[in-house]
C-alpha cells in the first residue's frame, strides 16, 4: 500500500514539474524591445520626450518600429498599454540611441527610468544619432527591415576591435558624466554618405548630462589614444624626402597608455606615454629605394606614424584645455590619487586648463608576409 502511494506522489510531482511555469507568457504575446531611441517630440506634438522602439521579429513577422511622445519615459510606456495588445518588455534591450537635440538638452530624464528598470541591463551600448534616432531607425528599416537590430547591435559592440572609437555602456554614461570636471565620450551614428547603411562619424562628449561637443574621426582617435581606451585600428602614413612623397601605406595597431603625474612647484604635470604595436599592412614606394625591405625603412615608417599622431594629440590637448576646459582623457584621477584634498575643490571651477600635459608616442611594427 505504501509503495502505491509513493508511486502516486512521484507521478504527481513529475506531472507538476513537466507542466512548466503557470505564469509564463507565450513569446507571440510579447513586444520585445531590442533598440530604444530617444528624441525631442516631433514638431507639433506635446511632451518632452519621444521614445521609438525597434521590436524583435516574433514568429514570422518582421521587426517593427513604433514611436510614442509624452512628458516622461514612463508615460510613453503607459500610452502603449492603451493601444498595443502585446506586453512590452525591456529584458532584451541591447542599444540605446539618443537624438542630437535631446542630447544637447540633457539626458537625465531618460537615464533615470532606465537605470531604475531592473529588466534593463546597465551594460547596454549607448550612441548619439547625428539627427533624430527615430529617423535613423526608419531609414535603416527601408533598406532592410530584417537586419536593423543586427547591424546596430554588432556595430556598436565590436567597433573598438576595428577602429579608434569608444564603446560606452549605459552605466558608464550615467556614472562618468556626473564626475566633476570630467567628460564621457559616446559614439555618434548617422546614415552613410552613400545612403546604403549607417556609419560612425566620431564621438560626442557629455558633461553633467549634456552634450558639450562633437568630435570627428581624427579627434576621436586622439581622444581614445590619450585616454587609454583599448582599441585597434588602421592608420595611414606618408613618407617624404626632400619635400617629395616616396612611400605611403597603412599600419594596423593596438594601443596602450601610461600616465605619470608630478609637480613643478604649483604646476601639475602629466606625462602620457602612448604605445602602438601592430603590423605593416601595405606600402607602395613611389620612388625606388634600396631600403625597401631593410629594418631601417620600417623604423622610418614607425617614426612617421608616431610624429603624425603626436601632432594630432597635441592639437587635441590644446582644444581640450582652451575650448572644452574639461578633462576628456581621464587623467584627473591620477592627480586626485596624490593630492585629493587640494584638487577636489578646484574641479568645479576649473582644473584641467591649468595643468601641463606632455605626450610621447612610440610605434612598434612587424613587417609580415613574404616580402617582410
Query: Which tens digits make up the pLDDT trace of 97-127?
Result: 999 999 999 988 898 899 998 999 999 999 9
Q: 264-299: buried (b, 16+ CB within 10 Å) or exposed (e) per residue?
A: eeeebebebebbbebebbebeeeeeeeeeeeeebbe
> By the 8 A CB rule, do 364 and 275 touch?
yes
Say yes or no to pLDDT of 35 above 60.
Answer: yes
The SS3 of residue 76 is helix
- Residue 297 has a pLDDT of 85
Retrieve residue 16's grid coordinates: 507538476
**Mean predicted confidence (pLDDT) in 88-100:** 89
Domains and CATH numbers, the chain: 24-215 (no CATH), 229-372 (3.30.300.210)
pLDDT band (50, 70, 90) for residue 81: confident
> By the 8 A CB rule, do 229 and 331 touch?
no
- Residue 20 has a pLDDT of 54
Say yes or no to pLDDT of 75 above 90.
Answer: no
Distance from C-alpha of 87 to C-alpha of 32, rounded to nearest angstrom: 8
Say yes or no to pLDDT of 143 above 50.
Answer: yes
- Residue 22 has a pLDDT of 45
**Phi, psi for 263 (deg, rounded to 5):** -130, 140
Say yes or no to pLDDT of 84 above 80.
Answer: no
Nearest to 133 by CA among 42, 70, 222, 204: 42
**Mean predicted confidence (pLDDT) in 221-248:** 93
- Residue 30 has a pLDDT of 73
**Mean predicted confidence (pLDDT) in 169-195:** 91
Considering the entire predicted model, what is its pTM? 0.87
- Over the stretch 255-314, which tens digit does the pLDDT of each residue have? 999 999 999 999 999 999 999 999 999 888 755 555 555 788 889 999 999 999 999 999
pLDDT band (50, 70, 90) for residue 29: low
Amino acid at each position: 500500500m505504501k509503495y502505491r502511494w509513493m508511486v502516486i506522489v512521484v507521478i504527481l510531482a513529475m506531472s507538476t514539474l513537466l507542466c512548466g511555469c503557470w505564469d509564463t507568457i507565450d513569446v507571440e504575446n510579447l513586444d520585445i524591445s531590442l533598440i530604444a531611441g530617444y528624441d525631442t517630440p516631433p514638431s507639433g506634438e506635446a511632451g518632452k520626450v519621444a521614445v521609438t522602439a525597434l521590436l524583435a521579429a516574433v514568429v514570422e513577422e518582421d521587426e517593427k518600429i513604433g514611436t510614442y511622445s509624452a512628458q516622461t519615459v514612463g508615460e510613453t510606456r503607459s500610452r502603449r498599454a492603451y493601444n498595443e495588445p502585446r506586453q512590452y518588455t525591456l529584458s532584451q534591450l541591447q542599444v540605446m540611441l539618443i537624438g542630437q537635440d535631446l542630447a544637447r538638452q540633457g539626458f537625465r530624464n531618460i537615464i533615470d527610468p532606465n537605470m531604475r528598470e531592473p529588466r534593463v541591463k546597465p551594460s547596454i551600448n549607448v550612441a548619439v544619432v547625428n539627427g533624430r534616432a527615430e529617423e535613423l531607425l526608419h531609414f535603416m528599416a527601408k533598406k532592410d527591415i530584417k537586419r536593423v537590430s543586427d547591424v546596430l547591435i554588432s556595430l556598436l559592440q565590436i567597433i573598438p576591435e576595428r577602429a579608434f572609437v569608444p564603446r560606452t555602456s549605459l552605466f558608464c554614461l550615467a556614472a562618468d558624466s556626473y564626475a566633476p570636471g570630467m567628460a564621457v565620450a559616446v559614439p555618434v551614428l548617422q546614415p552613410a554618405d552613400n545612403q546604403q547603411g549607417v556609419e560612425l562619424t566620431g564621438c560626442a562628449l557629455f558633461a553633467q548630462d549634456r552634450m558639450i561637443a562633437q568630435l570627428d574621426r581624427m579627434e576621436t582617435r586622439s581622444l581614445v589614444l590619450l585616454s587609454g581606451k583599448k582599441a585597434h585600428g588602421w592608420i595611414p602614413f606618408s613618407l617624404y624626402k626632400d619635400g617629395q612623397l616616396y612611400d605611403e601605406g597603412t599600419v594596423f595597431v593596438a594601443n596602450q597608455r601610461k600616465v605619470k603625474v608630478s609637480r613643478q612647484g604649483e604646476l601639475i604635470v602629466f606625462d602620457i606615454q602612448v604605445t602602438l604595436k601592430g603590423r605593416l599592412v601595405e606600402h607602395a614606394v613611389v620612388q625606388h629605394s634600396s631600403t625597401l625591405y631593410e629594418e631601417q625603412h620600417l623604423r622610418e615608417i614607425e617614426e612617421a606614424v608616431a610624429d603624425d599622431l603626436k601632432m594630432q594629440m597635441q592639437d587635441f590637448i590644446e582644444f581640450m584645455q582652451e575650448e572644452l576646459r574639461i578633462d576628456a582623457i581621464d587623467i584627473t584621477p591620477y592627480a586626485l590619487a596624490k593630492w585629493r584634498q587640494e584638487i577636489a575643490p578646484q574641479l568645479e571651477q576649473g582644473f584641467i586648463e591649468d595643468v601641463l600635459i606632455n605626450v610621447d608616442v612610440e610605434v612598434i611594427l612587424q613587417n609580415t608576409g613574404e616580402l617582410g
